[in-house]
Structure 1
Amino acid sequence: MVYNIHPINLFRALSLSLELSNGGLSHHHWRTAMISSRIGRSMNMMESQHEILVYTALLHDLGAASSWDERVKLRTFEVEDTIYDHAEVGYRLLKDSPILGVLAVYIRHHHDFYDGSSPSGLMGSEIPLISRIINVADRLDVLIDEEKYILGQKGSILSRLESLGGIYFDPEVIAALQTCSQQESFWLDLADTTYAQRFFDNVNQYGYTRFNVDDILDIAEIFAKIIDQTSSFTGAHSRNVAMISSFLAGLEGYSEEECKAIQIAGLLHDLGKLAVPKQLLEKTEKLVPREFDIIKQHAYYTYRILEQIDEFEVIAEWAAYHHETLDGRGYPFRMQEDRLKMGSRIVAVADIFAALTEDRSYRSLLSPSEVKKIMYSMVRHNKIDKKIVKNLFKNLDCVNHLVQTKIHT
């Protein structure tokens, strides 16, 4: 199974997941990528390096995605020693990846000070150029006040960055920024919410890349780790859902490649949970309606993010419809039974089983008999597929073994 994907569509979608909040999307990574691209062009960067620059900028704060406190802190211009923590986490998440590993070192050093005072000890040109550019672009975006007219801010923003040239920032990168930012369009593009699409369309010139299913699995595993770190109660949830889904798909006659595809869906099914504050995910009391509405958006965002990736239409449905029910009363799309493919039904059953067999903040651990009782009650009320549930409990020992093996590997 091969996926023909424009890399920019893949990176744009993954980047969008890093921008999620219950208040909307910030597009910090997108704007950082646009600024970085302009600076790179001004410095006559080689095309191959420019491509890596854009991809790295789109994922540069990957290491902070699972921590709302960290994400808020990074929106402040004045940096603290702890600003390097998320860069190191991002590096560790990516360094062993065959696909995304090329970005790891650049992410690791994207907050290094030019004068060598950072923990890495690197200074000047020892810091990768891509990292030096992203550092300036990132801090520029943080300085933008969205409540004020953009052209009225350019002088103060440039002065602030220029004052730190040779200390925080590479003077050559600052000089390149001064050149490209003379155009009013540089600033207006950052304020224009419609411009991002044109930017990505231009980057699409790099064309398609052929990813096999194992390439996508590798990327999905990285994001599953980030998703599951959003709560202390979901340390292996996405991976559990993925393994159970793949196993159940095999029982339904899916091929090995199709089982891997549904494993990808399981790994990414909660991608939209990056929009949900940790205090809601770990709340011990019953959620009030407004809080539950915030929770509901996660499946919607999972779909809207994954549908942007070329040839991901089926995976997007399998992943995002895990809270849809056969009676049409699920969320967020209220899908009727005839619209729910077998893959979506499998992920839904796997998600429910995994959630019921894991610790949760709002209840104690359930016994196997309690789990079975709850799931068969859902079958009787036409919520989930009876055949899949029967297969699950018929092969319960195998399912439990798979989960335990995954936890300890």
Structure 2
Amino acid sequence: MIFNIYLTNLLKAFSLALELTDGGLSRHHWRTAMVADRIGGQIGLAQGPRQNLLYAALLHDIGAASRWDEKNSLYSHKPITDLYWHAEEGYRLLVDSPLFKALAKPIRHHHDRWDGSSPSGLAGKDLPLAARIINLADTFEVLINDGRYILDQREDILAAIVRHSGSQFDPDLVEALGEAAYKDSFWFDLATPHYFDHFFHSLQSHGQVRLNIDGLLGAAEIFATIVDRTSRFTATHSRTVAAVASFLAGVKGYSDTETKIMRVAGLLHDLGKLTVPNQILEKPGKLTPREFTVIKQHAYYTHRILTQVDGFELIAEWAAFHHETLDGTGYPFRIPPANLRLGCRIVAVADVYAALREDRPYRPSMPLSDVEKIMLDMAAARRLDADIVHTLFAAGDTVEEILPGTCPA
């Protein structure tokens, strides 16, 4: 099966996942990408390099997404002790990816200074051009104060950038940014949320990338890794859910391609969990009502992010409805049982199974016999699909053999 989607559209959605907060969605990566693209256009960057610049800008802080406090510090004016660890982590996440490996080096160096005083020791034009542009665009975006009229900030922001020309930034790129920022419309575009749709639509001229299901699985694996790093208790959770869900899909007669789509849904089902602070995910005691509401929003954001990608409607549904229930009281959408498709029910069963078989901060992993009893009780209460639960445990050791390897005997 081929997914005829724009890679820009896919990365637009994934970049939002990188900046989820408990207050909703920020737009740091989107605005950084807009500024970077304007600089690229100003210097006459060719279409191919300009396309890769955009993609790298959309993912430039991918290495920070799993660490809540550090991620928030990057988008504020707070001092940061180490700007480079997340850039290196982003490089490691992407360097072996067939789809994203061209972005790894620019992301690795996107905080390196023009004067060579960064740990890499690279200086001047030895630094990748895309990295130099993203460094400038990233800093520029962080200087924007959303609580202040945008044109009132122009002189202060540009003056702050110019002060670091020749030390932190490439002087030629600073000049190009100044030329692009001469237009009032440059600033109004950055301050207008609705402009993003126009911006990304205009960039579809970069070309439509045809992704087969295996290419999509590779991208999903990267983001599953990011999500599962949010807590030391979920090191393989997304992969466990993906393995169990795709196994159950196969037993239920899904085709090979459909079982791979189910695996993608399993890998991405907790994408919205990047909106949950690490301290809540790792809290050893009972959650407060407020903390539980923060937890509940993760499925909502999984759905909202994935539905932005053309052709992802089914994946978004299977992934995001894993906390909906057959009694209609699940969250966050309260889907009527008649509208809760089999794929959603499969992911729900796989998610509960994985969670019970893994350590959690408030309890150790449960033995298989206890897991079976709990899940059968949930099925009897119409919290889970009884047929799928029975199918799961009828498979016996077969399910355990396909798990990533962290669940105890």
TM class by shorter chain equals over 0.9
Per-residue displacement from partner, 1:61-116 (whole Å, max 9, x unpaired)?
A: 00000001111221245765510000000000000001011111110010010011
Per-residue displacement from partner, 1:15-38 (whole Å, max 9, x unpaired)?
A: 110121111211000000000011
Displacement of 1:207 = 3.5
8 Å CA contact 2:16–2:27 kept in 1: the answer is yes
Change (3 A) 1:2 1:354: same
**Does residue 27 of the first structure (1) align with residue 61 of the second (2)?**
no
Amino acid at match of 1:22: D
CA distance in 2, matches of 1:183, 1:143: 18
Per-residue displacement from partner, 1:208-246 (whole Å, max 9, x unpaired)?
A: 221000000000000000000001110100000001111
Name the counterpart of 2:390: 390
Alignment of 1:127-276 (within 5 A): 127-276=127-276
Alignment of 1:61-72 (within 5 A): 61-72=61-72
Per-residue displacement from partner, 1:112-135 (whole Å, max 9, x unpaired)?
A: 100111111111001011110000
| Structure 2 counterpart SS, 1:403 | coil
CA distance in 1, matches of 2:128, 2:346: 45
| Structure 1 counterpart SS, 2:234 | coil
Displacement of 1:188 = 1.3
CA distance in 2, matches of 1:189, 1:312: 28
Alignment coverage as a number of residue pairs: 408
**Does residue 297 of the first structure (1) align with residue 316 of the second (2)?**
no
Change (3 A) 1:171 1:77: farther
Change (3 A) 1:362 1:80: closer
CA distance in 1, matches of 2:145, 2:304: 28
CA distance in 1, matches of 2:210, 2:347: 26
| Structure 2 counterpart SS, 1:383 | coil
CA distance in 1, matches of 2:127, 2:186: 26
Gaps of 5+ in 2: none
8 Å CA contact 2:16–2:26 kept in 1: the answer is no
CA distance in 2, matches of 1:19, 1:78: 17
CA distance in 1, matches of 2:298, 2:182: 40
Instruction: Between 90-99 and 389-398, report the one with greater CA deviation.
Output: 389-398
Name the counterpart of 1:336: 336
8 Å CA contact 1:77–1:139 kept in 2: the answer is no
8 Å CA contact 2:236–2:404 kept in 1: the answer is no
**Does residue 126 of the first structure (1) align with residue 126 of the second (2)?**
yes
8 Å CA contact 1:7–1:209 kept in 2: the answer is yes
Change (3 A) 1:122 1:301: same
CA distance in 2, matches of 1:370, 1:114: 59
Amino acid at match of 1:72: N
Name the counterpart of 1:306: 306
CA distance in 1, matches of 2:207, 2:127: 30
Identity %: 53
8 Å CA contact 1:39–1:133 kept in 2: the answer is yes
CA distance in 1, matches of 2:298, 2:249: 24
Name the counterpart of 2:85: 85
CA distance in 1, matches of 2:155, 2:282: 44
Alignment of 1:347-386 (within 5 A): 347-386=347-386
Q: What TM-score, normalized to structure 2?
A: 0.97
8 Å CA contact 2:73–2:80 kept in 1: the answer is no
CA distance in 1, matches of 2:329, 2:193: 34
Instruction: Between 383-392 and 70-79, report the one with greater CA deviation.
Output: 70-79
RMSD of the TM alignment (CA)? 1.4
Per-residue displacement from partner, 1:155-198 (whole Å, max 9, x unpaired)?
A: 11111111111110000110100100000111111111111111
Amino acid at match of 1:275: T
CA distance in 2, matches of 1:21, 1:297: 11
Gaps of 5+ in 1: none
Change (3 A) 1:59 1:373: same
